Amino acid sequence: MKPIKEIMVAVGFAEYSQGLVAYAARIAETLNAELIIVNIINVRDVEAIGSIAAMGYEVDSEHYVSGIKEERQQALSEILAKVSFPADKMRAIFQIGHPIDELLKIAVHEKVDLLVMGIKGRSDLEHVLVGSVAEKIFRRSPVPILSYRDEKSAERLKKHIGIK
């Protein structure tokens, strides 16, 4: 088995993102690995802004994307302020695209050895109807994936299987 030297963490800025990044950082620190934090701005959202602009509203996708990137970079800065991990062993990638495809492309391009992801707090019905990025990544990823659970998700899942 090859050593784990590059760890990618997919961050969607959900309520558990602080714990997710801290968890990935602890693993990276333990393994003396680099940490790549990735966030994908969904291209469908950008296209929707373009459609709204085409209707005559004063919005444009360029300002939307720059605003979203700025917000997410600020949110990441706040997360990282609470995580002790060497800045020189960490970097962030913000990209526009289809989340599943982009995460997989980045994992391959960056030659990551491990991908750390969280799950969104969806109900089972929504999961069946919509599917999830995490599930599709798990099925298609060419690299091992570690699935993070915050306490709230873990408790919900325990109740679901009948454990108190």
| Six-digit token string for 143 | 């690299």
This prediction has a pTM of 0.84
Cβ-based burial of 109 (10 A; exposed 0-12, middle 13-18, buried ≥19):
exposed
Fold of 6-160: Rossmann fold (3.40.50)
For residue 33, the tally of other CB atoms under 10 A from its CB is 20
Please report which confidence band the pLDDT of residue 47 belongs to, taking 50, 70 and 90 as the band edges. Answer: confident
Tens digits of residue pLDDT in 15-40: 889 999 999 999 999 999 999 999 99
Q: Span 3-13, mean pLDDT?
A: 95
Q: Write out the DSSP string of 140-157.
A: H-SS-EEEE--HHHHHHH
Give residue 153's Cα distance to chain centre: 16
